[in-house]
Structure 1
Amino acid sequence: MEFAPIASYGFIGNLLSCALVRRDGAIDWCCLPAIDSPSVFAAILDPEKGGAFRVTVHGSEGEPEQAYLGETNILRTVFRTSDGGIVELLDWMHMGVFSYVEGEESRLPALFRLVRCLEGKALVTLHFNPRLDYGRTQTVLSVTERGICARSEGDTLCLHARGVWNVGTDGAQATVSLTEGREWSCICHYGSDDGVSLPDIHKSLQQTERYWKRWIAECEGDECPYLGRWQKEAIRSLLALKILAGGRRIAAAATTSLPERIGNGENWDYRFSWVRDTAFTVQAFTMMGHFDDAREFVDWLCELLCEGGMRPADLQVLYPLYATGTPDEAELTHLRGYRDSRPVRIGNAAMHQKQWDIYGEILETIYRSAQLYPGPDSTLRRILIDIVNYVCEIWREPDHGIWELRQGSQHYVYSKVMCWVALDRGIKLASAHQWQADVVRWEEEREALRSTILTEGYNAERQCFRQAFGSSYIDATALLFPLLEFIPADHPFAVNTLETIRKELEEDALVYRSDYHREREGTFIFCSFWLVDALALAGRVTDAVRNFKKLLAHANHLGLYAEEIDPKTGEFLGNFPQAFTHVGLINSAVYLGRSQTEESSEQPLMGEQSMVQ
């Protein structure tokens, strides 16, 4: 068994956990009971030692067809056999009755698989080979009345599927002959079989389909925003983000250690909630009319900073999704890594870094949506005032920056601009809502910071903003400066920066994070969408649409994206699916939709005037 392209995978989940389903029906990645739990299937990182759950249709010809059932996260794979048989495989994770506040009973740590023979006949084999706890301990399989159970130290995973099971060193197998109209159902759940009550598979399918269709259609207030010709792509991105947004914390991606370049060791665990990534995702939810999802982030932030007298200085860069405590970064040396790209890492040492931009992202998120504005006596208002006061104290200090480079702190220009954003948005919110705050001090600090950035942050020789003060590198984050209203889009620095980044960091619509990253990884898709937005704001809508269409063409067969793309091969790189990338697609779809119409919106985008001014 060889490694499959990252782009060959589909994505299913239920806000608690998720799984990657290959185009041939193999589940090569799944962590249970939650997305940040140890894996039970990890063949994507090691085909021999990682474990997989495969469905094989004997005599299958050609590449299987794979698509989602409409606007849901239910995956449908169709196999065609050499003798005319057609077999359908449906994969999903259970979602119960629709509610804006999903209870744990609605999100089971279980995989549902339904194999149906639609025409003719077919021989189908299930190969169930879990390796619990990342394969670090021995997994023992045993036959039960309902199917198979896998056990290791402290973990149990059971499969309910009828059939004659044969257990060997490479897992358990059962084969069934299906004729037209017959089906084979499988439910794989985490935990002991004793006393477990699982929903009927057909009722689960109906409830889950109903949940996703209702969630995507029910926006707060008026009808959901319509994005014209980009609607389908934006909806698929939103559905992927919803899986990652289980509860108040939002995962940066579903996986760990998928490499940013094959074999170079840049492999990281993204199954954490970064404050920055969460803030960006919340903005995408609000733009698409899903304010309840956005409010969960605000509630989480309030809890974080009110617990035990915490202050803005105590805010971490990232937080665990469900695990208790943030684990230290470690390497799983027994796993090969995707295409032998070692090491496989769990945990993320970036938790120890200081990244000043997160404070600006918090203020920006609140500022952009009137539905999130704090009341006069709210906890959130007090927290935002504390954050702006803290930014006044720390903006002159270096940090580790948005890209989390492990080479010491610097005066990153993007971090400085986001500190300016925190001050600017704080001033505007305070003025509009009569906050009792030291706005005079905030205004003085804002002007001093802006002057410092324009003096130290721009490289006149390269005609572009720097990555950091004193650095010769340029960085794609500078595309955001006009969008963040730090400078107008027609300011000479903005015009020159846009042209320099296009010339030096862009390859046919794909953009590298910086020239430091150019020789170390693929192009970063989120940055590529930033270029679309920057072009649209600069009035170059034709160029923006052209780039956007090229980026859409890079999606996989299901409309999903990883973190990066190799511009030479088009191959996906980095963790998958990546929240940042799908946020970028939604942002660009909204920008382009608005730039091509004269309709006004009550909800301002970056680069537009806000209601609070």
Structure 2
Amino acid sequence: MGYAEAAQLESDDYLPIADHGLIGDMRTAALVGTDGTIDWYCCPRFDSPSVFGAILDREHGGRFVLCPRNPSKTKQLYFPDTNVLITRFFTVDGVAEVEDFMPISAESTQTNTRRHRVIRRILCTRGTVPFGVKVAPRFDYGREEHDLSFQDGHAVFTSSSMTLALSTSIDLGRDGNDVTAEFTLSEGQSTAFVLDQLTDGMPPRGCEPGEADQQFRETVAYWRKWLSHSRYTGRWRETVHRSALALKLLTYQPTGAIVAAPTTSLPEQIGGERNWDYRYTWVRDAAFSVYALLRLGFTDEARAFMDWLGNRMRECRFGQEHGPLQVMYGIDGRTELPEETLDHLEGYRGSAPVRIGNGAAKQRQQDIYGELIDSVYLYNKYGEAIGTDLWEEVTDIVDWVCDHWDEADEGIWETRGGREHFTYSRLMSWVAIERTMRVARQRGLPSNFAVWSTQRDAIYRQILDRGWSPKQQAFVQHYDSDVLDASLLMMPLAKFIAPTDRRWLSTLDAIGNGLVSDSLVYRYDPNMSPDGLGGREGTISICTFWYVEALTRAGRVDEARLIFEKMLTYTNHLGLFSEEIGPTGEQLGNFPQAFTHLALISAAFNLNRALG
């Protein structure tokens, strides 16, 4: 079958979001579909403009297609205990596989200047398999034109902002400014395609088969050595370890920051407008990240993230309307994340708008201070003792919280419908003060207990008074409402209320009856609590894992285990979760999402401990 006739190579269909694997080098990442196409890749960083973005626009986004020219069935897996992705193709005449990875080794992690490289190794394991290739970059989200030239057998793509070089031993053809190729492999034969970023006028450099093999071995060795530091030996070990490997992929190594997800604008509802850029680092993820990493034994990663948080705390500006800290930052710590729409892209399956940047960065979200200081408390308890400089910064922040906790904000869900007095924000303000007092007592550090304890107790009483709905017999989303909210599943997890307290058990039942659908949890009902956006969304995966943990702590362990096991049936074929689960079980939202995998680790750890 000729290249132009191969429907697989020029598919007009969007793959399901879940039909992707993730590769990366802790600077950036790429999504590889089960059809062998790289349809999302930003270079050289997570938050750089895309080079391949067909997942957001099949016609204008750009892609790197590599698959058989004959009809085939595919299977995808990770090389065991690594982030090296294998896509296997089964045709009538043979079997072949593509190994996708970004090279990384123990030595390469010590420098911030190593080149960005994607290697695609193709091996024929049985029979004969004819392949087709099309490399069609679209720089700057498809907004930049590029030129194609051939230099010593390399294809060089040059735009105003970036140069990429494609190296291979296969003869390359030209289709406009894109590259095409056809080749056939027989059993035992292999070849490779290597895509390099060229900087500072460097010439393209080939990648001999021996070099590709060596970098494959080094990359496998790196990931296996890293995972060997895990202390987790309980139930669901493989699932927990896959989550840990995904989190490591989402870590920006030069700073220790963890991106919420490597993608932007994958929709929460097909055809809807709830499409956001998640390629940044949320302060809210802090406590969950530190807790999960320390529980598994990854102290270096927890320390790196704490260093990143410490830098943000040192930059606090207390005169800002939204508070001394932002909700999120760039992976390098930058504060400006202007939100804009890319109207030339149609969005995943027509789900416009496509957004880059995130306007929620300047929202006021009071809860972030509780999560931040909780992470300091956890690191001080399970990691290393915090230093005097960090303690001074913590006390400055908690003093600010004491002065401002009783003010409205946009809340954890970053609503765009106006500020409210959110119960969760009050809860985490309580956590900020309470955890600071704990650390002070444990370490004998300078403190202002008289003020702190007065404000802590005032928050506690206010939540019990105004955050409780007699009608719902439950704690509710915000004061003077009857709206249920899954964020309040954190109340016993944050140790605000005993997990078997009468009020809490009533709240747990209300959430189970009002927000849970076949074990999956909605964060709230937007019809009852308008959030300034149209359309609906799926169930929120992190909320389901919070529900599992809340049930576990309430002693309903059998129920928690069943829901946890059910939730694992919604993972994709590689063990990865996006942000949400749709009405028919499909994954929705940015993919994969760090927050979900952090919550999975915490739920698994505590459920396993409860099971004995």
Question: TM range, normalised to the smaller chain?
Answer: over 0.9
Residue aligning to 2:525:
515
Counterpart pick for 1:161 among 160, 163, 168: 168
Counterpart pick for 2:70 among 53, 56, 59: 59
Question: What is the alpha-carbon distance in structure 2 between the residues aligned to residue 322 and residue 164 of structure 1?
Answer: 40
Residue aligning to 2:189:
182
Label 1:27 to 1:92 Cα distance change in 2 as closer, same or farther (>3 A).
same
State whether residues 44 and 50 of structure 1, in contact with CA within 8 Å, keep that contact through their aligned partners in structure 2.
Answer: yes
Equivalent AA in structure 2 for residue 249 of structure 1: A
Residue aligning to 2:611:
596
Instruction: Tell me the alpha carbon deviations over residues 385-416 of structure 1, each in whole angstroms, 9 at most, x when there is no partner.
Output: 12221111110111111100012221111010
Q: Are 1:14 and 2:25 an aligned pair? A: yes
Counterpart pick for 2:299 among 283, 291, 304: 291
Counterpart pick for 1:233 among 235, 239, 245: 239
Distance apart, 1:174 and its partner CA: 0.7
Counterpart pick for 1:414 among 424, 441, 465: 424
Say which SS state the counterpart of residue 44 (structure 1) adopts: coil
Residue aligning to 2:390:
380
State whether residues 264 and 341 of structure 1, in contact with CA within 8 Å, keep that contact through their aligned partners in structure 2.
Answer: yes
Q: Tell me the matched-pair count.
A: 586
Residue aligning to 2:574:
558
Residue aligning to 1:258:
266
Residue aligning to 1:606:
none
Equivalent AA in structure 2 for residue 252 of structure 1: A
State whether residues 367 and 373 of structure 1, in contact with CA within 8 Å, keep that contact through their aligned partners in structure 2.
Answer: no
Q: Are 1:42 and 2:48 an aligned pair? A: no
Q: Are 1:357 and 2:357 an aligned pair? A: no
Counterpart pick for 1:397 among 398, 404, 407: 407
State whether residues 20 and 31 of structure 2, in contact with CA within 8 Å, keep that contact through their aligned partners in structure 1.
Answer: yes
Say which SS state the counterpart of residue 6 (structure 1) adopts: coil
State whether residues 286 and 371 of structure 2, in contact with CA within 8 Å, keep that contact through their aligned partners in structure 1.
Answer: no
Label 1:563 to 1:365 Cα distance change in 2 as closer, same or farther (>3 A).
same
Counterpart pick for 1:145 among 152, 163, 179: 152
Residue aligning to 2:101:
92
Say which SS state the counterpart of residue 66 (structure 1) adopts: strand
Residue aligning to 1:301:
309
Label 1:561 to 1:98 Cα distance change in 2 as closer, same or farther (>3 A).
farther
State whether residues 317 and 325 of structure 2, in contact with CA within 8 Å, keep that contact through their aligned partners in structure 1.
Answer: no
Distance apart, 1:172 and its partner CA: 1.4
Q: Are 1:549 and 2:565 an aligned pair? A: yes
State whether residues 93 and 108 of structure 1, in contact with CA within 8 Å, keep that contact through their aligned partners in structure 2.
Answer: no
Structure 1: runs of 5+ lacking an equivalent: 598-613
State whether residues 58 and 81 of structure 1, in contact with CA within 8 Å, keep that contact through their aligned partners in structure 2.
Answer: no
Distance apart, 1:104 and its partner CA: 2.0
Distance apart, 1:181 and its partner CA: 1.6
Distance apart, 1:308 and its partner CA: 8.5
Question: What is the alpha-carbon distance in structure 2 between the residues aligned to residue 115 and residue 198 of structure 1?
Answer: 16
Question: What is the alpha-carbon distance in structure 2 between the residues aligned to residue 545 and residue 348 of structure 1?
Answer: 36
Question: What is the alpha-carbon distance in structure 1 between the residues aligned to residue 317 and residue 243 of structure 2?
Answer: 37
Once superposed, what is the RMSD of the aligned Cα atoms?
1.9
Say which SS state the counterpart of residue 328 (structure 1) adopts: coil
Question: What is the alpha-carbon distance in structure 1 between the residues aligned to residue 519 and residue 377 of structure 2?
Answer: 30
TM-score, normalised with respect to structure 2: 0.92
Label 1:517 to 1:160 Cα distance change in 2 as closer, same or farther (>3 A).
farther
Which deviates more, 492-501 or 465-474?
465-474
Distance apart, 1:280 and its partner CA: 1.7
Say which SS state the counterpart of residue 215 (structure 2) adopts: helix
Instruction: Tell me the alpha carbon deviations over residues 412-443 of structure 1, each in whole angstroms, 9 at most, x when there is no partner.
Output: 11010000011111111111111111012111
Which deviates more, 297-306 or 282-291?
297-306
Question: What is the alpha-carbon distance in structure 2 between the residues aligned to residue 415 and residue 309 of structure 1?
Answer: 20
Which deviates more, 575-584 or 195-204?
195-204
Counterpart pick for 1:132 among 139, 149, 163: 139
Question: What is the alpha-carbon distance in structure 2 between the residues aligned to residue 275 and residue 476 of structure 1?
Answer: 19
What percentage of aligned pairs have identical amino acids?
39
Residue aligning to 2:505:
495
Counterpart pick for 1:194 among 191, 202, 223: 202
Residue aligning to 2:216:
205
State whether residues 132 and 151 of structure 1, in contact with CA within 8 Å, keep that contact through their aligned partners in structure 2.
Answer: no
Distance apart, 1:311 and its partner CA: 8.6
Which deviates more, 8-17 or 183-192?
183-192
Question: What is the alpha-carbon distance in structure 2 between the residues aligned to residue 464 and residue 580 of structure 1?
Answer: 26
Equivalent AA in structure 2 for residue 527 of structure 1: C
Counterpart pick for 1:329 among 339, 343, 348: 339
State whether residues 563 and 577 of structure 1, in contact with CA within 8 Å, keep that contact through their aligned partners in structure 2.
Answer: yes
Question: What is the alpha-carbon distance in structure 2 between the residues aligned to residue 284 and residue 260 of structure 1?
Answer: 26
State whether residues 98 and 214 of structure 1, in contact with CA within 8 Å, keep that contact through their aligned partners in structure 2.
Answer: no
Superposition pairs of residues 437-476 of structure 1, within 5 angstroms: 437-476=447-486
Equivalent AA in structure 1 for residue 267 of structure 2: P
Say which SS state the counterpart of residue 515 (structure 1) adopts: coil
Question: What is the alpha-carbon distance in structure 2 between the residues aligned to residue 132 and residue 124 of structure 1?
Answer: 25
Label 1:255 to 1:584 Cα distance change in 2 as closer, same or farther (>3 A).
same
Question: What is the alpha-carbon distance in structure 2 between the residues aligned to residue 171 and residue 299 of structure 1?
Answer: 43
Say which SS state the counterpart of residue 134 (structure 1) adopts: helix
State whether residues 552 and 607 of structure 2, in contact with CA within 8 Å, keep that contact through their aligned partners in structure 1.
Answer: yes
Counterpart pick for 1:578 among 593, 596, 599: 593
Residue aligning to 2:531:
none
Question: What is the alpha-carbon distance in structure 2 between the residues aligned to residue 531 and residue 170 of structure 1?
Answer: 51
Say which SS state the counterpart of residue 526 (structure 2) adopts: helix
Which deviates more, 480-489 or 155-164?
155-164
Question: What is the alpha-carbon distance in structure 2 between the residues aligned to residue 323 and residue 337 of structure 1?
Answer: 28
Residue aligning to 1:605:
none
Residue aligning to 1:25:
36
Residue aligning to 1:214:
225
Structure 2: runs of 5+ lacking an equivalent: 1-11, 529-534
Equivalent AA in structure 2 for residue 113 of structure 1: R
Distance apart, 1:203 and its partner CA: 1.3
Q: Are 1:318 and 2:334 an aligned pair? A: no
Label 1:577 to 1:102 Cα distance change in 2 as closer, same or farther (>3 A).
farther
Equivalent AA in structure 2 for residue 30 of structure 1: Y
Question: What is the alpha-carbon distance in structure 2 between the residues aligned to residue 119 and residue 303 of structure 1?
Answer: 54
Counterpart pick for 1:246 among 247, 252, 260: 252
Label 1:181 to 1:69 Cα distance change in 2 as closer, same or farther (>3 A).
same
Q: Are 1:347 and 2:357 an aligned pair? A: yes
Question: What is the alpha-carbon distance in structure 2 between the residues aligned to residue 461 and residue 314 of structure 1?
Answer: 37
Question: What is the alpha-carbon distance in structure 2 between the residues aligned to residue 60 and residue 430 of structure 1?
Answer: 65
Distance apart, 1:544 and its partner CA: 0.2
Distance apart, 1:258 and its partner CA: 0.4
Label 1:581 to 1:98 Cα distance change in 2 as closer, same or farther (>3 A).
farther
Distance apart, 1:539 and its partner CA: 0.3
Distance apart, 1:325 and its partner CA: 5.2
Distance apart, 1:351 and its partner CA: 0.9
